[in-house]
Structure 1
Amino acid sequence: MTALTPMRRLLILAAGVLLLGGVGAWAVFSAADRAEEENKPRPGGPAFTAGRVTLDEPGRLVFRNTAAGPQRDRLVSVPADRAAGAVRTASDVGCLRFYSAAGTGVCLQSTTLLGRPAYRAQILDAGLRTVRSYPLAGVPSRARVSASGRFAAWTVFVKGESYGSAFFSTRTSILDTHGWQLVPNLEEFAITLDGRPYRHQDINFWGVTFAADDDTFYATLATREETYLVRGSVRARAVTTLTRNVECPSLSPDGTRVAYKKRVLGTAALWREHVLDLRTLKSTPLAERRSVDDQAVWLDDHTLAYALPADTRPNSFDVWTAPSDGTGTPKVLLEDGQTPPAPSRSR
């Protein structure tokens, strides 16, 4: 085989650089084209106005906008009593997951680190200013704040990006904003399963929801292909299983019931939204019969809100409501949005 001359090596190197440059430029332009397409406002979509968005303004819903256009993923606000069709006041804060209570917000964001996708949790004050920031180990999934605003929790996918996947792994963290103590992984907590201490390598937690005492919380525990509702204590660093087949719990304002998604086999709906009475463990299905992959929100003691994929708008969601007692008919609360936290009320 004839050895390559120095000149030929230089020509091959130059050709390779040009080829890689062309591929890189194509990737950049393709990404720009996709971003431009996604940022095109949807005809007939929601209208926006610039203004101040705060987390403590009474009577307003603050949520992540999912409508196509330059405000996609931004936090926006609308009047709670006429959310459908209202002009949205848009902030400059973008989130993939968001929740707030008592003027404290948790915003799970996408960013880049050394040219690669990265994620972080931003703790926001009532004016949407960042108070603290924490790196995330994976793709954002769930977020919650306790009613007092003291505790924040979030769940991310470390492997996989769907609870419907055969293989996924999650990491759930709890942050105490009084002293900024972080529990990086709930898997550190002691577990009592069916009355006995339990430990296994496949444990996953997700979907924290807080009680009013700023200690008790509920969450989903998954192990050995089973899911459980657990009640936990932040101070005791321990959880106890209560019942099976409960995912993404959401505690009612009066602390007596948990809304959750129940896996239903042999039906078109993968999950059916239910409400569990914590005193009797009796479960009631909502009137909503479609598959709900969301951590529902209690707008009040009798009304649940949850997001469903929009039928005709790719990558967007509509927020629906249904009575918590299983009666009634689901209704659209707002289009192109993530499920909002309950609105702030006058004190």
Structure 2
Amino acid sequence: MTPAGSTFRARLLVLVLTTALLAGIAAVVTLRAADRATERERARPGEPVARAGPVTLRQQGTLLFRNLAWGPQRDHVSSVPLTTPAGPRTSAPRDCLRFYAAAGTGICLRSTGGVVPGHEAVLLDARLRPVRTFPVPGIPTRARVSPSGRLVAWTVFVSGDSYAGGAFSTRTAIYDTRTGILRPNLEKFTVLKDGRRHRAADDNLWGVTFAADDNRFYATLATGGRTHLVEGDLTRRTLRTLHSNVECPSLSPDGTRVAFKKRVPGASAATPWRLHVLDLRTGRDTAVSERRSVDDQALWLDGRTLLYALPGDFGSDLWSVPAVGGGTPRMLLKSAVSPAVIT
């Protein structure tokens, strides 16, 4: 054999061995990645289990929410039975930053991605199929649907990204699914503050909650460094102040009380709020037994219990507390946010 032939065979052998080695490394990497994916899907002690499956807005006795448990179902709209909220979750392929639903109508505030990231509000039918999409001018923060499913509201941060610091601007819209009318900015409504017409450059409105008549609603008005509970009238396009130091109101099922977060004097600037309940008939303001700061629009789980989010290991957990005072807060759902009760 010539020296040239020996050199060629040696080089060929090195090439074959190198190719085999690289193929082996690729196989090991692929298997390890698959193992990691399987591990993410596998339940760890105390971690919620989420599995892909059908989710509808008509299944009574369920709690819907944005799933925050790690894995392929993270950020997807998910459901659990109200009777066993800690059980396995069913997750639909619908990712949302904020979500809410009532009477077969859903609203999903989500990121649009792309070269220039943006956000949109997606109106959903009872099977979570998109019905209509609205571009929104900021970062999603609040979403609500009226008890009948007719009216939908959402709030976004146009500038700033926190209610705590005070340097922020919001935009709140209401859409009527029956008439197709979109009211893109509630700040265009006439504000009656203490009985007098009011308009200021620093007015901000957020956190809509609807009454059962599909006309009245409640929200937060911030102006002059203070916040107020306002009652809105869609037909008259008016907002009337009712009570001060109220943020993110949530109307009770019977329409007589409003749960809200209240700034507490002396609290940290980063964690300034406590949950309170206002009786709209008497004006009585009652603090609930949750002593931690709640930066959320609480939800009435029923006529006696509030549901709200607090920081958790994977973003947020859902907690419950009696709305009448007393009792002890308890975690209802781990790794979840943006709940909606289907009854």
Query: Which TM class, normalised by the smaller chain length?
Result: 0.7 to 0.9
Q: Secondary structure at the match of 1:167?
A: coil
- Give, in angstroms, the shift of residue 111 of structure 1: 1.2
Q: Is residue 58 from structure 1 mapped to residue 57 from structure 2 by the alignment?
A: no
Query: Structure 2-normalised TM-score?
Result: 0.86
What secondary structure sits across from 2:83 in the alignment? helix
Cα separation, 1, equivalents of 2:205 and 2:70: 32
2:274 match: 272
Equivalent residues, number: 303
Q: How far apart, in 1, do the equivalents of 2:310 and 2:205 lie? A: 23
Paired AA for residue 76 in structure 1: S
Match of residue 167 from structure 2: 167
- TM alignment of 1:56-205, pairs within 5 A: 56-84=58-86, 86-113=87-114, 115-205=115-205
Residue 287 of structure 1: aligned partner: 289
Amino acid in structure 2 at the alignment position of 1:87: P
Cross-structure match for 2:9: none
**Deviations along 1:256-288, whole A, 9 cap, x unmatched?**
000000011213541000000001111000100
Tell me what 1:214 maps to: 214
**Distance in structure 1 (CA, Å) of the matches to 2:61 and 2:169:** 38
Aligned partner of residue 158 in structure 1, secondary structure: strand
Q: Is the 8 A contact 1:299 1:343 kept in 2?
A: no
Percent sequence identity over matched residues?
55
Moved over 4 A (4+): 39-42
1-side partners of 2:316 and 2:214: how far apart? 31
Counterpart position of 1:337: 336
Gaps of 5+ in 2: 1-35
Structure 1 unpaired stretches of 5+: 1-35
SS in structure 1 of the partner of residue 213 of structure 2: coil
Partner SS state of residue 187, structure 1: helix
1:320 counterpart = 2:298? no
2:23 aligned residue: none
Greater alpha carbon shift after TM alignment, 61-70 vs 151-160: 61-70
Cα distance in 1 for partners of 2:166, 2:222 equals 13
Letter matched to residue 69 of structure 2: A
TM-score by length of 1: 0.85
CA RMSD of aligned residues (A): 1.6
2: CA distance, partners of 1:231 / 1:54: 32
Which piece of structure 1 moves more, 48-57 or 224-233? 48-57
Q: Which has the larger radius of gyration?
A: 2
1:40 CA displacement = 4.8
1:260 lines up with 2:260 in the alignment: yes
